[in-house]
Structure 1
Amino acid sequence: MPTRIPLPARSTIWRALATAVVAVLTAAFLTPTAARAATAISPAPRESRPVYSYAHAVRESVWVDTGLDEDGDGRTDRVAADIVRPSEPARQGRKVPVIMDASPYYSCCGRGNESQVKTYDPQGRVVQMPLFYDNYFVPRGYAFVGVDLAGTNRSDGCVDVGGRSDIQSAKAVVDWLNGRATGYTSRAGTKTVRAGWTDGRTGMIGKSWDGTIANGVAATGVQGLRTVVPISAISSWYDYYVAQGAPLYDGGPDELAGYVENDAAHAHCAAVRKKLADGSPRSGDWTPLWTERDYVKDAAKVRASVFLVHGMQDLNVRTKHLGQWWDALARHGVERKIWLSQTGHVDPFDYRRGAWVDTLHRWFDHELLGYDNGIDREPMADIERHPDQWVTSRVWPPRTTGTAVLHPAPGTRAGVGTLGLRPARGTETFTDDPKLSETDWAGRLTTPTPEKAGFLTAPLTHDLRLSGSATVTVTATPTTASAHLSAVLVDVGPDTVRDYADAGEGITTLASRSCWGESTAGDSACFKETAARTARVDYTVFSRGWADLGHYASLGKGVPLTPGRAYTMTLRLAATDHVVPKGHRLALVIAGTDRDLIDPPSTKPTLTVFLPGTTANLPLVGGAAAFARATAGSAPVRPGPALLKGVRATHPARHVPLG
């Protein structure tokens, strides 16, 4: 039945009306400055308002001592923090919270869909701060701080790609904002400066490498960091470059460091780049370098709330990163929220702009200003089910999610294998073909082909929702001393999806602009709008995972395989939230090299998959019972030799640049 909300007493209503009238009359006779001040200090507002002048904001730069000397020049490294903050609160004796984006891209590559870089006036004060954060939030009583990671733009030190120097670059600024580190008015001077204008409450945000730094700083447990908003961010750098021993396509951390470093770092940081190269062997072995850059292991230290955002078709920073980070944070009771889109490596500002700005505004108001605006009581997850069509989930994954163990069964002369709840006997054989990818396998799912082993359910009689991270355990016998494995989950059926394989990774950039905040002559708050770029498909690959079979026993050291011997390995697939609709079929593909996404092994093995030792362990809402219900009464379909249509091709993993 409906909840009854008691009405206030009549005297209470009249008192409230009288108070409101006085407030309106008072505001009418105040000067504009006094009116803004009165609005800003009204008790417990539910939303911060744009009452401060962006045109007259304070713009200053501070160089914060990190305590490290990574470039070996005998001086501790200082990182540059460019600050835009409202001028009025300090005059009123009020302190403001901070929104911070620490990035290596402020000069080399740019931020956002329009690749904006920082610009400066002749006195070295920042004129253009990339993205909309300063334009929108500074008038609402926040300071924005853009930090140049060590070795980039105007900062000292070396780029160490997610290691101690990277993380300390940003952590030192959080410490300075809270009075625990020393800041200077210049890069080499001795005049110190304190952050007396802030209350120290800091929220970090950023996409890709920037969001990765937010994760890493949160994992230090630094005091004063209240929330982080990592967008398409890494949680463990090993998993960015390697998939369970299988090197991912293209590049290494030394190459990435060289791409973003400034001239001084390029001249003085060769030893750091060599350390990065030596510590990330193409063998795929886990080394101490990767341990240092694994933030998941330190999830217990996280004090900040976390608002995760990721594209479920991101093949640059794959959703394995969000899955393992989310699960680790959940185990330690961290306050969490999540958005999952159908895009690739795309910022939500460029696929759901209005809702994103509103949600981010309310999130920061709640986490940094302490406003009780109810965002913490709203559904935990927003999920894009179809292009521009979103649903919510009260908890993510839903509490009814359970692992369903599915068993592949061999095909017959009539077609490909099947997928069900009952264990099966037999084997399937495929030969690695490095020229083919997951789109080739999925496009030929209904036809037996030599480069894959495919297994399909019959058409579903009910929708089936997968929510979270899956694993696939494979028992296989190779014919050579090296072998790679891929496992992908496919929704077989017609749909319209975001074209994540297009250059825009699911969006098209338009010529029109929309404005979000206040502008100055040097920093516009107006950005190009976007629209969903879609594709009509017959199938959708919605989760994938890869591994080197030689690392079956340990990620720390791969070993040569013995031809003819069976090995068992569990592949960890990327997290997802996907509904396979009624009438579609769920498929599992097991194959070798996924072209452009992992490097091929040194040989081209044929692998015999032992089906009794092979399972797909899927996070299904409703568990195994939901799978049984969705497949009950469904008649098997004899597949024809049709070529299914999907996205054109997968994007290679692009390690340079990350953003």
Structure 2
Amino acid sequence: MNYRILIFLFTLTITQMSFAQVGPIIENGEAQIVPEFSDRTKYIRHDLWVETEFDTDGDGILDRMHVDVTRPWQTDSMDLKLPVIYASSPYYAGTQGNVPGAFWDVRHELGEKAGPRTQAPVKRRGERPVISNDEIDKWVPRGYIVVHSSSPGTGLSDGVPTVGGDNESLGPKSVIEWLSGKDNGYTEGKGGEKVKAFWSTGKVGMTGTSYNGTLPLAAATTGVEGLKAIIPIAPNTSYYHYYRSNGLVRSPGGYLGEDIDVLFDFIYSGDESKRPYGMATVRDKEMAEGMDRETGDYNDFWAGRDYVNDMGPMKAALLMSHGFNDWNVMPEHSYRIYKAAKEKGIPHMAYYHQNGHGGPPPLWLMNKWFTKYLHGVDNGVEKLPRAYIVRENDDREKPTEYADYPNPDAKDVDLYLTPGAPETGSLSLNKGAGGKETLVDNFSFDGASLAKAEITNHRLLYLTPVLEKPVHISGEAKINIKLAANAKAANLSVWLVSLPWNDGRRSKITDNIITRGWADPQNHRSISESDPLVPGKFYEFSFNLQPDDQIIRKGQQIGLMIFSSDKEFTLWPDPGTELTVDLGSTVLTLPVVGGEKALQEAIVE
């Protein structure tokens, strides 16, 4: 035999042996960086379209989702299949930007609707084949394929955004089905040749932050078989809870006057020729008829955009991540889904930190989660503690382990109010004589100013004695309040604060706000039903504040602040509405680690 042929065959054999050895490397229950998968210049990148089961842009043709794929070159050169990390977003193709007048005007009376908003088209950005570079550097070297898609009505994906509607669940479901072997992939948005995901094992995990964290949950609620695990980070799990609170019209923090139709305009970057149809059918009909900024009531429109109602088919393992001081997508969004997953017996875990919006779990925890459920490695992650909480000023990569969240040692403790307005009253374990105190609404003063004021008639403030020991709060505080107004409608805002106010003396910018809550007294019977208030009549009702886990330091005082319009979150009616609180029938319930005994030792009265 010719020696050149021998050399060729020998080289081919060695090369094939090398190929055969290339694959994921698992150590200590985590997928390790594979050197052969780490050269980004050799990644195969391509885009395609996946056909869905819906037509939301009215053209009589099933919508297709625009998808991109990034995978190691070895998945083309050898018989190598890898699991997939999938991220979907309405933001990848660009957003509306800062358009003056795009938000609703909040300066009007309760029960009224503001004037028209300014609407401007979104100009799509981005070139094929790249939709996004997110997740690639983190996961491809560790033996995964990364897939992105633009959600319906954005970028080169067909359809219309619905901001929580069914197509935003079914769109990623169709992509996952394609990744699991379904024959619904195409080279083009219309027509085109079929494309197979031959390089996929059919096991898919999803992750993302904010809206991008909502879509993994949306996909999981369909029960699609290939979706094995999700890691939603600061997800919006209910658009009602994002834009309303207990019947009250409330903006997300930092976006005063935003509502669901504003977000629709912000993300609608799809085919310009289809936008008039989408705006007419979704924004100007479905949203205009359902969102109800006049009453703020929960209705069928909002129920259809509340993922806790859709969790029946869900089985994907859930690792939630959220910040306790996220006043945009508030921490209740993750907590309510975490509780529902636990009740359903779905594998579940929670990671909470003390900062604001966003913030993924530590990489080692995400890695173990995906390694278990996508690579199928028995690494024991399901036996780890259910909750990881970053304590104050600690490294977010080194959370404290909890058996569960809330801390299992937390017990509800009732605190009672005694008068002191317009200065401060007291918050005590002992029930006082009661009485009634009145505040006057004025949106001109923000919550921080009211909490710091020594004397003001624009809030009621009740303080514990100075803490002689730290107090650890874990879970949801609750207020039962009895009040009357001198008007037919009023905002109600409640803050739990730690005083004295630090004014930036310490590094943690949210040191003084423990938690917050808002409610519409007109919804004293139900968040689905509001009744105009009878001036002077007292109404008693309860609601939870945002979940929290925080240690209030020795030397501070815990304060309950009750006021009306919250300058950063609520509508701004004319000042002057009076709220009168019946102190004898108003109770603050705190979830205290160690229960009443621990709190009693801290607030010796």
Residue 336 (structure 2) pairs with residue 362 (structure 1): no
**2:237–2:307 Cα contact (<8 Å) kept:** yes
* CA gap 1:472/1:181 in 2 versus in 1, 3 angstroms: farther
Residue 446 (structure 2) pairs with residue 437 (structure 1): yes
Residue 205 (structure 2) pairs with residue 203 (structure 1): yes
Q: Which amino acid aligns with 2:29?
A: R
TM-score by length of 1: 0.78
Instruction: Work out the CA distance in 2 between the residues paired with 1:604 and 1:41.
Output: 66
| SS at 1:229 equivalent | strand
Which residue of the partner structure matches residue 589 of structure 1? 561
| SS at 1:583 equivalent | coil
Which residue of the partner structure matches residue 437 of structure 2? 428
**1:487–1:571 Cα contact (<8 Å) kept:** no
Which residue of the partner structure matches residue 320 of structure 1? 332
Deviations 1:151-190 (A, max 9, x none): 0001000010011122211121112222346221210014
* CA gap 1:186/1:383 in 2 versus in 1, 3 angstroms: same
Instruction: Work out the CA distance in 1 between the residues paired with 2:532 and 2:183.
Output: 50
Instruction: Work out the CA distance in 1 between the residues paired with 2:15 and 2:80.
Output: 18
Residue 417 (structure 2) pairs with residue 408 (structure 1): yes
Instruction: Work out the CA distance in 1 between the residues paired with 2:154 and 2:421.
Output: 59
Instruction: Work out the CA distance in 2 between the residues paired with 1:496 and 1:224.
Output: 50
Residue 589 (structure 2) pairs with residue 578 (structure 1): no
Q: Which deviates more, 59-68 or 229-238?
A: 59-68
Which residue of the partner structure matches residue 61 of structure 2? 75
What pairs with 1:542-553 in structure 2 (closer than 5 Å)? 542-553=514-525
Deviation at 1:301, TM superposition (A): 3.3
* Count, aligned residues: 551
Q: Which amino acid aligns with 1:70?
A: T
| SS at 1:562 equivalent | coil
Residue 502 (structure 2) pairs with residue 469 (structure 1): no
Q: Unmatched 5+ residue regions in structure 1?
A: 1-29, 112-116, 349-354, 500-533, 635-659
Q: Which deviates more, 42-51 or 448-457?
A: 42-51
**2:410–2:594 Cα contact (<8 Å) kept:** yes
* CA gap 1:432/1:36 in 2 versus in 1, 3 angstroms: farther
Q: Which amino acid aligns with 1:47?
A: E
Instruction: Work out the CA distance in 1 between the residues paired with 2:365 and 2:244.
Output: 34
Q: Which amino acid aligns with 1:582?
A: K
Instruction: Work out the CA distance in 2 between the residues paired with 1:628 and 1:41.
Output: 55
Deviation at 1:391, TM superposition (A): 4.0
Instruction: Work out the CA distance in 2 between the residues paired with 1:298 and 1:579.
Output: 35
Deviation at 1:192, TM superposition (A): 2.0
* CA gap 1:253/1:475 in 2 versus in 1, 3 angstroms: same
Q: Unmatched 5+ residue regions in structure 2?
A: 1-12, 98-123, 252-256
Which residue of the partner structure matches residue 80 of structure 2? 94
**1:379–1:392 Cα contact (<8 Å) kept:** no
Deviation at 1:627, TM superposition (A): 1.7
Q: Which amino acid aligns with 1:147?
A: S
Deviation at 1:535, TM superposition (A): 5.5
**1:246–1:599 Cα contact (<8 Å) kept:** no
Residue 264 (structure 2) pairs with residue 257 (structure 1): yes
Instruction: Work out the CA distance in 2 between the residues paired with 1:317 and 1:41.
Output: 36
Instruction: Work out the CA distance in 2 between the residues paired with 1:372 and 1:401.
Output: 32
Please point out which of 310, 313, 323 is paired with 1:298: 310
* CA gap 1:320/1:44 in 2 versus in 1, 3 angstroms: closer
| SS at 1:230 equivalent | strand
TM-score by length of 2: 0.85
Please point out which of 286, 291, 309 is paired with 2:321: 309
Q: Which deviates more, 97-106 or 299-308?
A: 299-308
Q: Which deviates more, 99-108 or 40-49?
A: 40-49
Deviations 1:31-57 (A, max 9, x none): 688557425267887332323243222
Q: Which amino acid aligns with 1:357?
A: L
Which residue of the partner structure matches residue 269 of structure 1? 278
Deviations 1:327-379 (A, max 9, x none): 2222223322222223222334xxxxxx8333322322222112344444444
Deviation at 1:269, TM superposition (A): 0.8
Instruction: Work out the CA distance in 2 between the residues paired with 1:298 and 1:630.
Output: 43
* CA gap 1:593/1:251 in 2 versus in 1, 3 angstroms: same
Q: Which amino acid aligns with 2:315?
A: R
Deviation at 1:291, TM superposition (A): 0.8
Please point out which of 282, 290, 293 is paired with 1:279: 290
Residue 173 (structure 2) pairs with residue 171 (structure 1): yes
* CA gap 1:421/1:317 in 2 versus in 1, 3 angstroms: same
Deviations 1:261-299 (A, max 9, x none): 122442331221112222101121222111111111233
Deviation at 1:550, TM superposition (A): 0.9
**1:118–1:129 Cα contact (<8 Å) kept:** no
Instruction: Work out the CA distance in 1 between the residues paired with 2:22 and 2:192.
Output: 40
Which residue of the partner structure matches residue 157 of structure 2? 155
**2:96–2:265 Cα contact (<8 Å) kept:** no
Which residue of the partner structure matches residue 385 of structure 1? 391
Give the percent of matched residue pairs that are identical in Structure 1 and Structure 2. Answer: 31
Please point out which of 130, 134, 138 is paired with 2:133: 130
Please point out which of 398, 402, 417 is paired with 1:394: 402
Deviations 1:588-636 (A, max 9, x none): 11111111211135774211111122111222212223222222x35xx
Which residue of the partner structure matches residue 621 of structure 1? 593
**1:480–1:604 Cα contact (<8 Å) kept:** no
**1:366–1:375 Cα contact (<8 Å) kept:** yes
Instruction: Work out the CA distance in 2 between the residues paired with 1:105 and 1:536.
Output: 28
**2:23–2:80 Cα contact (<8 Å) kept:** no
Which residue of the partner structure matches residue 336 of structure 1? 348
Residue 466 (structure 2) pairs with residue 459 (structure 1): yes
Deviation at 1:562, TM superposition (A): 0.3
* CA gap 1:241/1:33 in 2 versus in 1, 3 angstroms: farther
Please point out which of 530, 552, 563 is paired with 2:535: 563
Which residue of the partner structure matches residue 63 of structure 1? 49
Please point out which of 217, 233, 236 is paired with 1:234: 236
